[in-house]
Structure 1
Amino acid sequence: MTDAQLTEARWTHVALPTGDLDAAIDFYTTMTPLTVVERFSDGAGRSAWLSNAGQVETPMVLVLVSFDAEQGGELGLLRPFAHLGIEVPTRDDVDVAADRARDAGCLHWEPRQMPGPVGYICALTDPDGNVVEFSHGQKVFTSVREKWG
């Protein structure tokens, strides 16, 4: 692979604070398709970048940050409706995500069919209280690719 250069402004990440970085990494790598790209540590705390494996063309990263000075502060900024969205190929994928979350005690919304453009959804709650939505039929991925692809 050649060194790709950034040639224009690009949306690259969303950063969320976490009270337990290891628990947050475990949640996102177990309950979602995200994998760890990088880990960092310095005098202020620790962080990790997570993304879809092989997402090279248009990298998008979830940055989880645990600042030592902020331990014990209020976390879980994405609630009750604000959320991270993950689009899946089938309705069954939504149901599987809900089943895993139900078993883990972190199901936020039961699977439900919503009017367009929302589609079939469920949501999970991460260890800090943030909401992660799984959707099928929302067509965010397809719509953006059709518009600019």
Structure 2
Amino acid sequence: MTDGQLTEARWTHLALPTGDLDAAIAFYTTMTPLTLVERFADDAGRSAWLSNAGQVQTPMVLVLVSFDAEAGGELGLLRPFAHLGIEVPSRADVDAAAERGRAAGCLHWEPRQMPGPVGYICALTDPDGNVVEFSHGQKVFSSVREKWGV
């Protein structure tokens, strides 16, 4: 990228429907490292963009969408194993995520050590039932950076 302009196709976001946009925003901004980037509203419904703060080189956005016409439809597309993955710097961070989830009643998987390449993991469920995994030692981030020479 030069001057902030897109110069090649790239993966930028994942969109998930939500039955309660405010509850979903609250979950992701308190239980994960994501922060609110922008909110939108129109005649069809409301949406929000969330991302890591300061992630300007390779932004990835979680788009939460609440369409009025789809109210009452089936939500929670990422379950029972499909999930969003968040890699954290330490095992203590996985344990802290599990504790937050336990306290909020949304712990999906207790912390556990899994064989490589999975690492130490736990998972929470968001207000719509989607699974959010926290991992340490999975090395997705560093493996991709190494592959592309960063």
Q: TM-score, normalised by structure 1?
A: 0.98
In the TM superposition, residue 3 of structure 1 has moved relative to its aligned partner by 4.0
CA–CA distance in structure 2, aligned partners of residues 39 and 96 of structure 1: 28
SS in 2 for 1:85: strand
After superposition, give the CA deviation of every residue in 1:43-71 in whole Å (9 maximum; x if it has no partner). 00000000000000001000000000000
In structure 2, the partner of 1:74 is: 74
**Aligned counterpart, 1:54:** 54
Moved over 3 A (4+): none
Distance in 1 (CA, whole Å) between partners of 2:81 and 2:14 is 16
CA RMSD of aligned residues (A): 0.8
* Unmatched segments (≥5 aa) in structure 1: none
**What residue number does 2:22 align with?**
22
Question: Number of aligned pairs?
Answer: 148
In the other structure, the counterpart of 1:117 is 117
Give CA deviations for 1:83-111 in whole Å, capped at 9, x if unaligned. Answer: 00000000000000000000000000000
CA shift digits 1:24-60 (9 cap, x unpaired):
0000000000000010000000000000000000010
Match of 1:106 in 2: 106
Q: What is the TM-score of this pair, normalised by structure 2? A: 0.97
Percent of residue pairs bearing the same amino acid type: 89
SS of residue in 1 equivalent to 2:23: helix
